[in-house]
A and B are shown apart, each in its own frame.
Chain A
């Protein structure tokens, strides 16, 4: 068991300076590639209003579920709307749903997990029990209640998704803190009278960073898909405005007749997830004090 202490001790060398982190990130080719993908989607989402694409809600009864063609590069959907345009406009809702909800989760979940793991005792008990309660409550119930009380909007959908993903982050953080806090260097820091806040920020947080980063990048995909099921409860993006998730949901009924309807949003979600994961990996490597060029 001393071996484990030795190994964990190694992890907590001084965190790299910001400058070095950036440098390492920039020289990491796959991280740059990930950044490029994410940037691409963010850019088209932001540029949607000025791109030369048709109105994403313009229906055409004569062009229902048509395969990709010169006029409609990605084909048309169940109401004859241009899928390229819907993909572009849908990027806004989906990226927001993915990124903001994960941000909410991390911003609230990680501090709670840190506190629970670090202080332990009754505080940990309360946090863990409430987390259990949150986990045991079906997501659907939370969503219906939110839809009824807060009304339909994309923001409320992000809130619902963020809340439901929180227990994972609380537990991941807590578990990691438990593993680190008994280490000699933390004890040492305590012995020399460092404040809790300093200890957490300087010695604990850097060690829980890695799994949180991995989980965040994974959660983005889950959130984008979850937004769709929410739009069916009156939360999330409301029709006829597009989102990738709701496009997938509709495409489900036409998997055989119009496979392209499911294909584009599927590919887009995949690419965004790859992008964020590569970026996350790069960030992980850059923040890892032992990682050298």
Chain B
């Protein structure tokens, strides 16, 4: 008893007389990330950590313009096959290794050639990278690729210390070293990831907290309760149904940003055993299906209206959205007419759904809506790995799939719909569409690109290998002590300027 009170007194006096307490920012995240290695990472939540730990060659603004980060300036060659970047001087990685052109070359080389790298497909257009000077690199492309800059604003552009990854190889993931504002301190899987301020950061003035602790808390209700109890400072992915109560709570601050991702149905058009049914064969039926869905009501019912109804990979708020093809209103009469035209009055369809409550709810709303036009939707809940294997193998009719989204429009469409697209599990293929998608990538002029994508949209809107439903809104909540948080449409938490009093 005596000992305890003594210890207590000591602790108090230490707190009173010691230096100002280090500020620790505690962030509740939705899942536990996978490997903390930008080249191996495959989860969205991993990117959330990298945003604090690993600076990228370029960054984005909240309105999705590409801005300098580790590269200060860049130029495209006239034919669009060469990208020259000037690099920031005086930057060091968190282990003291200097950042220079050779470091960039080594990084891109690793992303392209590490056997386990998940960045290979994004960098296929890069033929070679060379150091054009101590602080200048040149990317040589096999064909013009306007998407490259956006790619370099994400994990492919995240710079890791070559000293560290050459020494550690794959083990890099267990003690990553980058050039961002916070360096890796410790990780206990499913418990926490702790980062601490890197004193040598090139933009150290903007960093106002000493340590950041990320705590994976999968349940949104529990995440919010932890924020309310003061155990957390910021939480990501607040449930849309909780948005109002966060706004009403005087002790909390609400923030949101319209996301660049989407949720939709992937239809098996021509992939293995799951294809061959009337729905796969007739685009009229797919049009009828799409018309049977009341996207507004769906958004209201499942998300309290917090999301954005959509019918394209880009949200209606995006500059890439094709305004000539607006979100269709529900039209059961027209849907029935289309079905008649296709020669059927009833369609049985199996919809595979990931096994979480929200997806199940969504599926049941759709089931109920399309039933009126004559679609009998059979919902099949499946856990992720089974669903993925079945989808790749073509053992499905329609899947409910979400995509967290990339900055460049090409990355949100090309892999899914082009004949050789990496994630084209519906095996939809139309050479005319491929040509347009190619044109969209070839030019660096946004207007020319938009024209190509709009033309592609007309084809896709007719054939509907994917039926888009809505675009999630990223929602964050934080305690009143936290200031300076800026929401970004990519859903990441950037800590520059964030402080805690």
Contact = CB atoms under 8 A, between A and B. Distances in A.
A155 to B, nearest CB: 17
Interface string B288-319: 00000010010011100000000000000000
B360 A64 contact: no
Interface stretch (B258-266, B364-372, B435-443): B364-372
A234 interface: yes
Given A232-B355, A234-B380, A253-B221, A240 B386 contact: no
A229 to B, nearest CB: 10
Contact of A59 (B355, B364, B382): B364
Given A233-B383, A240-B367, 13 more contacts: A59-B365, A64-B300, A78-B361, A79-B364, A232-B355, A232-B356, A232-B381, A234-B355, A234-B381, A252-B219, A253-B220, A253-B239, A253-B241
Contacts of A215: none
Range, interface on chain A: 20 to 34
Contacts of B193: none
Contacts of B363: 239
A254 interface: yes
Interface in B335-366: 355-358, 360-361, 363-365
A256 interface: yes
Contacts of B294: 61
Contacts of B358: 253
Contacts of A111: none
Contacts of B361: 78-79, 250
A74 B338 CA distance: 40
B382 A234 contact: yes
B379 interface: yes
Interface of B: 219-221, 239, 241-242, 245, 294, 297, 300-302, 355-358, 360-361, 363-365, 367-368, 379-383, 386
A255 B239 CA distance: 12
Which 7 A-B pairs have CB atoms at the shortest separation, nearest pair first? A232-B355, A59-B368, A61-B297, A234-B381, A240-B364, A239-B379, A234-B382
A210 interface: no
A255 B365 contact: no
Q: State the main secondary structure of chain B at its contact with A.
A: helix
A63 to B, nearest CB: 10
Interface of A: 57, 59, 61, 64, 78-80, 144, 147-148, 152, 231-234, 238-240, 249-250, 252-257
Contacts of A257: 241-242, 245
Nearest to A61: B297
A59 B294 CA distance: 13
Contacts of A64: 300-301
A79 B294 CA distance: 14
A238 B358 CA distance: 15
A254 B361 CA distance: 13
Contact of A249 (B221, B241, B245, B357): B357
Contacts of B219: 252
Given A59-B368, A79-B368, A252 B383 contact: no
B221 A252 contact: yes
B357 A250 contact: yes
11 contacts: A61-B297, A78-B301, A78-B302, A152-B380, A233-B381, A239-B364, A240-B364, A249-B357, A252-B221, A253-B357, A257-B241
B357 A255 contact: no
Nearest to A238: B379
Nearest to B367: A240
Nearest to A246: B360
Given A59-B368, A233-B381, A239 B360 contact: yes
A240 B302 CA distance: 15
Contacts of A233: 355, 381-383
A94 to B, nearest CB: 18
A254 B379 contact: no
B381 to A, nearest CB: 5
Contacts of A255: 221
A250 B367 CA distance: 17
B381 A252 contact: no
Nearest to A143: B383
A144 B386 contact: yes
B380 A240 contact: no
Contacts of B380: 152, 234, 238
B381 A254 contact: no
Contacts of B360: 232, 239, 250
